[in-house]
A and B are shown apart, each in its own frame.
Chain A
C-alpha cells in the first residue's frame, strides 16, 4: 500500500473529474486522462489522503451513499419546509441566536463534513470552529436549546452519527 495506495484514490477522483469535465470518452480522452490523473495523484497524494486504507473500505462507501440519501431526501427537505414556513408566516416566528455545540468526530474530513452538513441545511450556519476546544459556534434561526448538550442533540447528533462511520 503505502504511497501507491494514497496515489490511487486521488488519481481516480482526478480521472472522473477529467472525463466528466471533458464530456467525452474517446480513446484520446481515456489515454490522456490516465496519464494526467497519475501525475495529479503523485503531486497531491500527500496533501489529500492521510490514511490510504480508508478510501478502499467498502463499508464506508455504503454508509456514505446511505448518508447522502438521508441528508438530501430527509434532513434537507425537513429544514427547507421549516424555513419556508417561517418566511411565509406573517408573524415571522424567528428566534435567532448563536449556540456553542461540541464536536465529537475526530478526523479532519469528518469535522468538515459535519460543518458543511450543518451549514447546508437552511436555518443553521456554522460561523466559527474552535480548533483547540473542538466546538462549533452555530447560528440558528430558531434557538430551541442553549445548553451545549441539548443543542448538540438538536443540530448535529444525527449528522455526526453517520459521518463518523464514513470518515472516522
Chain B
C-alpha cells in the first residue's frame, strides 16, 4: 500500500517538475520575461564600447569584440586579478598542507600500469588534439568566447588523462611537481607584469599611465597595439589570456600529481617529525 502511495507521489512530483520547467522555459524563451529597458541600456553601452574604431570612442573602447573578455580583463581587470588569486591561494594552500610530498617518494611501481592498450593508444592521439583546442580557446579569448581560464582548464585535461590512463608512475617522470609549480609561477608573474606593462612603457617614454591600463585613456595616451588591419590583437587581453592559461594548466597539473600520489608513499613525509 505504502509503495503504491510512494509511486504516486513520485509520478506527480516528476510530472509537476517537467511541466513547471517547460512553462518557465517556454514563457521565458518567447520574451515574456525580458529585463526592462532601463536595465538593457547597460548591455547597449558595453556592446558600443568594447570594440569601437570610432575616434570619439578611442579613450573608452577596449578594442575587443568579445565583450565578456573586455569586461573581465579590462574594465574590471583588478577584480579579476583578485578572483584569480583566490584559486591560486587555494593551490598554494594544498601545496603547503602536503609539504614534503613529492613524486620522488614513489619507489617501486606496480608491474601492470594504467588502462588497456586500446585506451592508451587513443589517448596518445587525443592529447595532441586537446592541447590544440585548449590553445585555440586561450589565444582567441579576445575574439570569441573563451579565454585564459577556459583554455587552461581544457589543457589541464591532458595531465589528468595521462595520470589516469598511463599511471602516475609514468607521468611523474615527464613532469615533476616542482616543474609544474615553477611554470605556474611563470604564468602568475606574467599576469602581474601584464597589468603593469603599459605603465612600464609609459615610464620609458617619460610619461605616466594607470595600472591595469590596456588602451589609451584620456590622460594617458599610451597603450598596447590592438588593431593592425585586419587583425585584432587585443592589447593586454592577449597577454593576460596566455599567462592565465599557463598558470591554470600547470596549477592543475601540480595538484593532479599531488593528489594521485598514493597515501602510503607520502604519509610519513607529510606527517613530519613528531
Interface residues of A (CB under 8 A from B): 10, 13-15, 17-18, 21-22, 26-28, 32, 36-37, 40, 43-44, 47-48, 108-109, 111-112, 115-116, 126, 129, 131
Chain A residues within 8 Å of B122, by CB: 112, 116
Chain B residues within 8 Å of A40, by CB: 128, 131-132, 135
Contact (Cβ within 8 A) B121 A108 = yes
Nearest-CB distance from A115 to chain B (Å)?
A: 5
Contact (Cβ within 8 A) B129 A112 = no
B136 at the binding interface (Cβ < 8 Å): yes
Within 8 A of A (CB), among B6-46: none
Q: What bracket does the count of chain B residues touching chain A fall in? A: 20 to 34
Chain A residues within 8 Å of B127, by CB: 44, 47-48
Interface residues of B (CB under 8 A from A): 116-118, 120-122, 124-125, 127-129, 131-133, 135-136, 139-140, 230-233
Q: Which of A28, A37, A112, A126 is B121 in contact with, Cβ under 8 Å? A: A112
28 CB < 8 A contacts A-B: A13-B128, A13-B129, A14-B128, A15-B132, A17-B128, A18-B136, A21-B132, A26-B230, A28-B232, A28-B233, A32-B139, A36-B136, A36-B139, A37-B132, A40-B131, A40-B132, A44-B127, A44-B131, A47-B127, A48-B124, A48-B128, A108-B117, A108-B121, A111-B117, A112-B117, A116-B118, A126-B118, A129-B117
**A129 in contact with B116 given A48-B124, A109-B121, A112-B121 (CB within 8 Å):** yes
CA distance in complex: A82, B167 (Å): 40
CA distance in complex: A26, B139 (Å): 13
Considering only CB atoms, which chain B residue lies closest to A9 in the complex?
B128
Q: Which of A13, A43, A131 is B117 in contact with, Cβ under 8 Å? A: A131
Nearest-CB distance from A132 to chain B (Å)?
A: 10
Considering only CB atoms, which chain A residue lies closest to B137 in the complex?
A21
Nearest-CB distance from B231 to chain A (Å)?
A: 5
Tell me whether chain A's interface is mostly helix, strand or loop, or mixed.
Answer: helix
Chain B residues within 8 Å of A112, by CB: 117-118, 121-122
CA distance in complex: A28, B121 (Å): 33
CA distance in complex: A14, B127 (Å): 10
CA distance in complex: A112, B231 (Å): 42
CA distance in complex: A109, B123 (Å): 11
Chain B residues within 8 Å of A116, by CB: 118, 122
Considering only CB atoms, which chain A residue lies closest to B122 in the complex?
A112
Q: Which of B116, B140, B232 is A22 in contact with, Cβ under 8 Å? A: B140
CA distance in complex: A39, B69 (Å): 25
Contact (Cβ within 8 A) B231 A18 = no
Contact (Cβ within 8 A) A28 B231 = yes
Chain B residues within 8 Å of A22, by CB: 136, 140
Considering only CB atoms, which chain B residue lies closest to A41 in the complex?
B128
